[in-house]
Every structure is written in structure tokens, then in C-alpha cells.
Amino acid sequence: MATNFLVHEKIWFDKFKYDDAERRFYEQMNGPVAGVSRQENGASVILRDIARARENIQKSLAGSSGPGASSSPSGDHSELVVRIASLEVENQSLRGVVQELQQAVSKLEARLNVLEKSSPAHRVTAPQTQHVSPMRQVEPPTKKPATPAEDDEDDDIDLFGSDNEEEDKEAAQLREERLRQYAEKKAKKPVLVAKSSILLDVKPWDDETDMAQLESCVRSIQLDGLVWGASKLVPVGYGIRKLQIQCVVEDDKVGTDLLEEEITKFEEHVQSVDIAAFNKI
């Protein structure tokens, strides 16, 4: 119905021509108006596009309503019928497959039920009760009194024989001999003596002190484990010089405190004693 209505509808397609003629007539009469003319030109263009669109729609509808167009719906209908038939065939085949699967599952369930009933693991048997006899007290074995003959036999057994005693004596002698040899070797080894090299600074009272006499006083100190070395005079300032002397001492016998104490005894020549260097040898 809608198609027939659009086919027979009457549309004024040439209206824009009459609008243009009317506009030109009024322009000649009253003169051109810029704004109005532009608006009318825009409206006429839109009207033209609408008219062309309507004309194209009408032509397409007229072509579809012709004799050739009547064959297309029947073709579409037949194609739909073919598709529906194929779908029904596929549906029936799927139903058959589903039925077969259901039958196979039911058969498997029946077999499982039979196997469960026939298996001995599922048989419920009553547990057998075991009768436990009451515990009897076990009496400890009684010791028989030893006879005099057995005592004599025990006395005859010698757990530590004479052979073992002789072997123990030989091992003790061998151990003592080795200990003695080790002590002799240790006694022959030279004992390392810890020594130190000390550099002393001996300062006089003033520049008039006799430095040669001061050095002879220092060297006159003789101690076990003390050896004097080289010496020299080092200027300090204002004509005063100090005695710098080196010595070697054994740490166990001579200490720095003892050396300072012995040197400072010469009060007439020595003001103070300082340790300039101390090295282990």
C-alpha cells in the first residue's frame, strides 16, 4: 500500500523554476536586495536537492513495482524454504546422535553398577572379634646357687694373661724412649731471643756541657742483654747539641724504663732522655 501511494503521489518538481521567475520579477520592480537574494538562493538550492531526491525515490519505486520485480520475492521465498529444510535435516541428525550418546551412557552406568555389586571390596563383612586372653605374670628365673666346683673353675680363668702383661711393659718402655728422644731434640734447638733496636736522644743542660764526657758516661752503662751502637751529635738550637745513640737490647732482660733510669743518674750532664725510634728485630 505504501509503495502504491508513493508511486501515484503528485509532486511539484518544477516549483524552484517558478520561484526564480517570481524573484526576478520583484527584483526588476523593486530593485535587488542582497540579504534576501542570498537567502532565497540558499533555499532554492535546498529545494532543488529535495526535489531530485524525491524524483530518484519515485523512479526506484516505479522500477521495483514493474513486472521484473515480482520475481525477486518468490526467489527469496524459495531460498528460505531450502534453508529451512536443510536445517531440519541437520536437526534430525543431531537428535539421532544425541540419542545414541544417551544410550551409550546408560549402558556404561549399568555396567558400573554390575561391577560394583560383584566386586568383593564393596561387600560389607562383620569384623571378627579376637578373644584376648588375660595377661599372666612372668616370674623371673631363679638363680641357682653356685657350687664350689664352679667357683674353682672361675678362679682358674685368667682374664689378663702373662702375655698381655709383657706386651704392656714393652709398649710403656717404647713410649718412654720416644718421649726422651723428643725432649733431647727440643733441647738442642736454639731458643729464639726477642731483641729490639732502640734509638735514644740524650739532651744536655746547656751548650757548655762536655758532650764527649756525656757519651762516655752513657756507654759506661753495662747490662746483660745490652749492646751499644753508633752515635752522633745533632744540633738542637742556640749552640746546643744532643747525643743520639743507638743500642740493641734483649726484651726479656733490658727494658726502656731501665735504660732511662740508668742514664738519668748522670744528673750533672743529662737533662732528659727520649726514645726517638723503637723497632723489633
The yes/no answer on whether domain 195-280 falls in CATH 3.30.1240.10 is no
pLDDT at 126: 46
The secondary element (H helix, E strand) that includes residue 250 is strand 240-250
pLDDT value of position 71? 47
Provide the β-strand partners of residue 275.
Answer: 200
Round to whole Å and give the CA distance between 64 and 72. 10
Do residues 227 and 247 touch, judged by C-beta distance below 8 A? yes
The per-residue pLDDT for 263 is 93
Q: How far is CA 95 from CA 88, 102, 107, in A?
A: 10, 11, 19
User: Nearest CA to 25 among 45, 11, 40, 47?
Assistant: 40
Q: Cell digits for 194?
A: 726477642
Query: What pTM does this model have?
Result: 0.35
Treating both helix axes as pointing N-terminal to C-terminal, what angle do 34-64 and 15-30 enclose, rounded to 10 degrees? 170
Domain boundaries, given as residue ranges, for the chain: 195-280
pLDDT in 10s for each residue of the chain, 281 residues: 545 555 555 666 677 777 888 888 877 777 555 444 555 565 666 777 777 777 777 777 766 555 444 445 555 677 888 888 888 888 888 888 999 999 999 999 999 988 888 876 555 454 455 544 555 554 555 555 555 555 555 555 555 555 567 778 888 888 888 888 888 887 777 667 789 999 999 999 998 889 999 999 999 999 998 999 999 999 988 889 999 999 999 988 888 899 999 999 999 989 999 999 999 88
The residue type of 231 is S
* C-alpha 239 chain-centroid distance: 75
